[in-house]
């Protein structure tokens, strides 16, 4: 089942006298349950793409359809409601509220849904146990590590069971051990809950945890890589080679 369908997507910035075309007619689809990474050199348009896919920014032309909703046909109030129910976000900077406990932060998206207390508790327990933060539920962000804060942010994104999760460089502010732990848990969440995840990253290690990588260059889709039967290490090696051809940062294998 196609969950996200993109056709002829363009995004321009500027005015009618001077415009810069950042996305140049993209076409691709993402199936329900896929874990897809978006990569590319600096300036390739990957962050812009994530912003328009998640309805944070408007498209210039083309269509973006998520779970049967065509974003360009929705009014602002409809988009706001759509984001609350159908979309989860994980940002680089955690974005947790320091005045709330871990549990209170995670439960925020459920506060606007018409769920029973039992349903909310069950969802909270499932997600926090999967992310390994159930035991710190009563702590405040200042009392836990950066990795635990980012897993709290991830739990908040997953807890209301949205159609799709958008992650913008989720490991960017983490040390290598915390980053690996988060990526492993995202990979497990993708499998356990059949969660659809779209992640922008510059890091081939992070991308190797996904099922597919969409490589952008100068606002176009340059290529796509599928993990297939490869393990993470083999997939990482393939990503490195492709990244090198795009002029990205070459890492040691």
Contacts of 33 (CB under 8 A, 6+ apart): 190, 194, 195, 196
The domain total for the chain is 1
Residue 207 lies in a domain: yes
What pLDDT shows up at residue 138? 98
Q: What is the CA radius of gyration of the chain?
A: 18
The domain that holds 216 is classified in CATH as 3.40.50.300
Q: What is the torsion angle, in degrees rounded to the nearest 10, for the CA atoms of residue 181, residue 84, residue 143 and residue 120?
A: -90
Q: How confident is the model at residue 113 (pLDDT cuts 50, 70, 90)?
A: confident
Spatial separation of the C-alpha atoms in residues 186 and 191, rounded to whole Å: 9
Residue 91 lies in a domain: yes
> If you search the block for the tokens 């804060």, which residue do you land on?
149
Residue 228 lies in a domain: yes
Spatial separation of the C-alpha atoms in residues 222 and 15, rounded to whole Å: 27
Residue 142 lies in a domain: yes
What pLDDT shows up at residue 251? 43
Q: What is the mean pLDDT of the chain?
A: 93
Report field, pTM of the whole predicted structure over 0.85: yes
Residue 141 lies in a domain: yes
With beta carbons less than 8 A apart as the criterion, state whether 174 and 147 touch: yes
Range of the domain at 212: 2-247
Best CA proximity match to 23, nearest among 64, 82, 78: 64
């Amino acid at each position: 089942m196609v969950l996200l369908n993109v056709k002829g997507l363009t995004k321009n910035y500027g005015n009618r006298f001077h415009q810069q075309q950042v996305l140049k007619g993209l076409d691709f689809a993402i199936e329900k349950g896929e874990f897809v990474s978006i990569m590319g050199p600096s300036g390739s348009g990957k962050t812009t793409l994530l912003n328009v896919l998640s309805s944070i920014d408007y498209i210039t032309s083309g269509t973006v359809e998520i779970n049967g909703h065509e974003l360009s046909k929705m009014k602002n109030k409809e988009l706001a409601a759509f984001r609350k129910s159908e979309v989860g976000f994980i940002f680089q900077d955690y974005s947790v509220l320091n005045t709330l406990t871990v549990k209170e932060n995670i439960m925020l998206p459920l506060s606007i849904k018409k769920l029973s207390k039992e349903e909310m508790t069950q969802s909270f327990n499932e997600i926090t146990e999967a992310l390994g933060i159930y035991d710190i539920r009563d702590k405040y962000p200042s009392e836990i590590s950066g990795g635990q804060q980012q897993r709290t942010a991830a739990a908040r994104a997953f807890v209301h069971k949205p159609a799709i999760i958008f992650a913008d460089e989720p490991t960017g502010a983490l040390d290598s051990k915390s980053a690996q732990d988060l990526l492993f848990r995202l990979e497990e969440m993708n499998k356990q809950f059949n969660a659809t995840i779209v992640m922008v990253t510059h890091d081939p290690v992070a991308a190797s945890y996904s099922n597919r990588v969409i490589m952008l260059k100068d606002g176009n889709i340059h290529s796509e890589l599928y993990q297939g039967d490869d393990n993470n290490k083999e997939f990482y090696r393939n990503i490195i080679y492709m990244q090198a051809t795009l002029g990205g940062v070459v890492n040691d294998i």
